[in-house]
Amino acid sequence: MKMCFSLALMFFASSAGASEPVSSCDVGAKRGKRVEVVRDSEIGDTHIYYVRQEGEVKALFGNPDDSRGSDVHIACAGQKRHALIVFGMFTSNFLQGFVLTQNPATGKIERLDFAEKNRPARLYIGARQTLIVVPTNGYGETNKKYIMYRHVAGSTTDLEPVGIDKLPPVGRFEVIQLEQSMVSK
């Protein structure tokens, strides 16, 4: 009986908001939507990470087991439009991450997921598109220098990642050098 009470108390404490705030970002334009990353359940150098948005708290990758990570990097990036980028070592042998941006037409928060062996190098934020560029360093499924992930605002699925040898042109994008922007949490 004492054991059941202890387990119930631990569950209540962890589900009652005993999470630690890690980072926040007003995703979108000047008055974007507030998105926060929080964590709890520390074991060794890992935590379970969640996104808190509009009163809802969700595990980063669908469920708490898949959202247990270490060496997690987080940044609120962009000058004109803000994006939240998160990546780290979660449940696979790859760095997993995502970028949250706000669709300028609908105001909804949209997500671009990525997973690669190397850290992403550049984030391109445009009015209607978001790009993540990851150097391959000769590893992976392509002989190209980079892998590019792309999300188009309003799309329900991301486009397939493509191998490229040259960085995308700046054009109408704001380009963020991620090595300089990321903070480890």
pLDDT tens, position by position, 96-150: 999 999 998 899 999 999 999 999 999 999 989 999 999 998 777 789 999 999 9
Does 154 have pLDDT greater than 50?
Answer: yes
Q: What is the pLDDT at residue 149?
A: 97
Does 16 have pLDDT greater than 60?
Answer: no
Higher pLDDT, 107 or 9: 107
Q: How confident is the model at residue 159 (pLDDT cuts 50, 70, 90)?
A: confident
How far apart, in whole angstroms, are the C-alpha atoms of residue 29 and residue 75?
Answer: 16
Does 162 have pLDDT greater than 80?
Answer: yes
What are the structure tokens assigned to 181, written together?
């922007």
Q: Where are the alpha helices (DSSP H) in 16-124?
A: none
Q: Where are the domains of the chain?
A: 19-184
How far apart, in whole angstroms, are the C-alpha atoms of residue 51 and residue 37?
Answer: 5
Whole-model pTM over 0.75: yes
Main-chain phi, psi angles of 157, to 5 degrees: -135, 150
Does 6 have pLDDT greater than 60?
Answer: no
pLDDT in tens, 44-63: 999 999 999 988 999 999 99
Does 7 have pLDDT greater than 50?
Answer: no
The chain-wide mean pLDDT, for the chain, equals 86
132 in Cβ contact with 155 (< 8 Å): no
Tokens 């996104």 correspond to 51
How far apart, in whole angstroms, are the C-alpha atoms of residue 62 and residue 97?
Answer: 13
How far apart, in whole angstroms, are the C-alpha atoms of residue 176 and residue 112?
Answer: 16
